[in-house]
Amino acid sequence: GGPRKMADVVANLIARHGYAEQQGLDARTSAWQRVAGSDLSEQTRVGNLKRGVLEIFVGNSVAMQELTFQKRQLLKQLLQELPDQKIVDIRFRFGAID
């Protein structure tokens, strides 16, 4: 075929980026559920990964305390589960988990 319209090329790139981002979120969510275990993962929601910092939203203070206590081990396990994601830290934040 001939040359493609710039708008089509840009739309395709945006769609691919969104798809790749969703795949990354799905992979992080699955890994988080395995690493945190069912009790803690049910009280949390995986957020964005920005500059290597994975954001985890936590629904209550008891879970926040437990996660903070286990942070080093959780990070170590996530690095093993998701080596290509380049996670360097986890940031826990209070927020909606549904």
8-state DSSP, 83? G
Q: How many CB atoms lie within 10 A of CB 32?
A: 23
pLDDT in tens, 5-57: 877 777 666 666 655 666 788 999 999 999 999 999 999 999 999 999 999 99
H/E element holding 23?
helix 6-41
Is residue 53 a contact partner of residue 88, using CB atoms and an 8 Å limit?
Answer: yes
Is residue 67 a contact partner of residue 58, using CB atoms and an 8 Å limit?
Answer: yes
pLDDT in tens, 54-86: 999 999 999 999 999 999 999 999 999 999 989
Give the predicted TM-score (pTM) of the model.
0.79
Instruction: For strands 89-94 and 44-50, give the pairing.
Output: unpaired
- Give dist(CA 33, CA 44) in Å, integer: 9
